[in-house]
Structure 1
Amino acid sequence: MSREPYFFLSYARRDDPEDAFVSRFYEDLVNELRRLEVDCSGQMSFLDVQRLSLGDDWERRLGREVGRCRALVALCSPAYTHSLYCGKEWAAFRSRVDHYRAQTTIDVPALIPVVWTPPRGAWPEEIARLHYAEPEMGTGYLEHGLMGLLRTDPRAYRRALKVIAERVQHVAELFRLPVVDDLDLATVRSPFPDLSTATSAERSTPHVRLFVAAGVSESLPVGRRRPEYYGRSPLDWAPYHPPAVPTLANRAQRVILDEDCVSSVEVVGRDLGERLDEAMGNNQPSVLLVDAWAACGDPYREALSAYDRQNHPHAGVLVPCDEADDESEAEELWAELHEVFPRNWLRRNDLYDRLFQIRVDRRHFDAQLAVMVTVAQSRLMKKAQPRRLPAGPLAPPMPGLMVPAPLPPADAERHDPPGPAEGSGHDDD
């Protein structure tokens, strides 16, 4: 008998590059189901879930998991609706639900959307038409998403987790959807319009490169005493506490998605200049998200100082500062940051040059970043190399337009055409 997963977790890896929050939720959900006396013996460990995307047959293995699971838990976010394979997993599982309804007239709520990070606007219709919240999950769940609650409000997170586990248990125990062992995700179309209906030419979405220079909780920057702003990785940095979105990188990616762009996140390294040049060559604007504390010491100071000495007109620097962070009010900190960026410091917070913004508070972060991306993109477009069309046959000559001269009157005297006056010839000497 083939293994039958109790649930399949569908999520966008761009939301949580190191899978720290997703793995925590996955394990918590399995433990909550066990508390409800559910047999989760068919469930993989999260490490195995991560490995699904590795190897040559990952697409087939994903299809097999989606085709066998009893429920699908979708961690919905702006990145999720922009992910081709998240859309494929959603559509493939929905087809099993639709098939069951056609056979039994029962609409099984086994496709379970979870608000992981909320969009700034409305959800796509495919998500909005489903029931994705319960009153007991609280308003914070809809405002900040489960990923936000996981980091900022453990009690609210546990309440929402309990509701999700009970719903998974309900559909998994009462219903058995038809199993599809040979489900081929390559043939499935995403239901989200951004990726399912666009042609390859239409999907040439601008790509923004994000670079993060921030500390970590295990080794705080020199002089820093507030570990709550940091995590295990620089990508876990959350300078606004409590954060509405778990990490600053995640919040930045949401802003960029709302600007109809896609993004990638990297940690600043010694090769920062090379990577910025590479981005410029690919017509990709870049933004450096810089922790003022970490920028002043190792391992970032050398790379950021080199950036300041070089010319990168397509890249911006944004330095957040939480108004509730009393440590960051010290003028000595900003004087030292001035020494890291002496050239760019001259244009700090310039209304006419938005690519170097310091002490950006939480209320202005989204707007400042959106403007920065727009300005950097505009500068790139001015310098972008035009793409030449391939050579083709010469165009035929344009037809001449012959206008007949008017006929002289019948009684007009004939005159010789005027010639050059005597002595008016050209003097070659």
Structure 2
Amino acid sequence: MPEETYWEDESAPVFFLSYAHTRNRVPAPPRDTNQKEFQLFVDLSDHVVELLGLGPGRTAGFMDRMLDGGQMWTDDLAFAAGHCQVFIPLVSPQYLNSDWCAREWHAFTRRPVLIRPGATLSTHDTPVVPINWSVVERRRLPEVVKRPQMFTPTRLPPDIAPQYHEEGIYGLLSLGKNGKDAYDAVVWRLAQRVARAYQTHWVRPQVPSDMRQLPKTFEEVGHDVV
């Protein structure tokens, strides 16, 4: 296949962090209710820049900080969902109940996926990397979310992966210094997973023209791998 087939827009992010926006839950002055998601985004972005050697002006990731529950679909969000190469959903009960998270999911997963020439893949390699954000019982996961295996960190001290699966990243961040070492290790392994997905797959750009036409539930949609 010609090399130009794998052309990428240099302004496109490597990964898209998809999460359920949380509104203020108590009558109090406005505050940032998604600080933990933003911390993950910043830490992961730093690692991805380091691993991929991204040059000046290249963006490691995209995280929407403007929407409050998804009242609008911005041009920046549509561009990122249609051009990013790795999709990272922060799976939680709220995520699975969000119409807008489902639309972000489908904006990415409807795009055709090609394997880069010479890439060697393991069984579960995919450009969709679901993260255990706050624990959801597997039986509650929609089939389309179960298919890409939930991210599991490997090659770590034996207590870290179980802690991640039991607490989720939200839980690790909520445990303060007791969860920090596990959090740091998990995010580093996640960055390595993102870098590998980027180096082995190419997801053809396809920007949604109208997000309202995308499914607002996690139902089956065709997904091509070439």
User: Is TM-score (shorter-chain normalized) higher than 0.5?
Assistant: yes
CA distance in 1, matches of 2:132, 2:84: 21
CA spacing shift, 1:52–1:180, aligned 2, 3 Å:
farther
Specify the alignment match of 2:224 in structure 1: none
Query: Helix, strand or coil: the match of 2:110?
Result: helix
Question: Is 1:149 aligned with 2:172?
Answer: yes
* Paired residue secondary structure (2:216): coil
Matches within 5 A, 1:21-420: 21-39=36-54, 41-43=57-59, 49-51=64-66, 58-96=73-111, 99-100=112-113, 109-120=126-137, 122=139, 123-134=141-152, 136=154, 138-152=161-175, 153-192=179-218
Deviation at 1:14, TM superposition (A): 2.2
Q: For 2:70 and 2:150, how far apart are their aligned partners in 1?
A: 33
User: Could you give the per-residue CA deviations for residues 334-369 of structure 1, whole angstroms, max 9, x where no partner exists?
Assistant: xxxxxxxxxxxxxxxxxxxxxxxxxxxxxxxxxxxx
Q: CA deviation at 1:108?
A: 6.0
Instruction: Tell me the distance in 2 between the aligned counterparts of 1:80 and 1:54.
Output: 11
- Describe the shift of the 1:128–1:182 C-alpha distance in structure 2 as closer, same or farther (beyond 3 A): closer
Rounded to whole Å, the distance in 2 between the matches of 1:185 and 1:42 is 26
CA distance in 1, matches of 2:89, 2:211: 16
Per-residue Cα deviation, 1:269-292 (whole angstroms, up to 9, x for no partner): xxxxxxxxxxxxxxxxxxxxxxxx
Distance 1:133 1:9, change over 3 A: closer
Q: Which residue of the partner structure matches residue 11 of structure 2?
A: 3
Query: Are the structure 2 counterparts of residues 191 and 42 from structure 1 closer, same or farther at C-alpha, using a change threshold of 3 Å?
Result: farther
Secondary structure in structure 1 of the residue aligned to 2:113: helix
Please tell me the residue identity of whatever aligns with 2:113.
Answer: Y
The DSSP-based 3-state class of the residue aligned with 2:130 is: strand
Moved beyond 4 Å, runs of 4+: 52-57
Give the structure-2-normalised TM-score.
Answer: 0.71
Letter of the structure 2 residue corresponding to residue 147 of structure 1 = Y
| C-alpha RMSD of the superposition | 3.3
The letter for the 1-side match of 2:58 is G
Equivalent residues of 1:109, 1:171 under 8 A apart: yes
Matched residues in 1 for 2:69 and 2:59: separation?
18
Bigger RCO of structures 1 and 2 (CA < 8 A, at least 6 apart):
2
Unmatched 5+ stretches in structure 2: 1-8, 25-31, 155-159, 220-226
Larger-Rg structure: 1
Given that 1:88 and 1:189 are in contact with CA atoms closer than 8 Å, whether structure 2 keeps it comes out as: yes
TM-score, with structure 1 as normaliser: 0.39
> Matched residues in 2 for 1:166 and 1:182: separation?
29
> Counterpart of 1:132 in structure 2: which amino acid?
M
Question: What is the alpha-carbon distance in structure 1 between the residues aligned to residue 95 and residue 152 of structure 2?
Answer: 21
Shift of residue 101 of structure 1?
5.5
Q: How many equivalent pairs are there?
A: 189
Query: What percent of counterpart residues are identical?
Result: 25
Q: 1:56 to 1:75 in 2, by over 3 A?
A: closer
Q: Which residue of 2 aligns with 1:247?
A: none
Are the equivalent residues in 1 in contact too, given 2:19–2:89 (CA < 8 A)?
yes
1:185 Cα deviation from its structure 2 partner:
1.7
Task: Find the counterpart in structure 2 of residue 276 from structure 1.
Answer: none
- State how far apart, in whole Å, the 1-side matches of 2:163 and 2:69 are: 35
CA gap 1:9/1:135 in 2 versus in 1, 3 angstroms: closer
Secondary structure of the residue aligned to 1:190 is coil
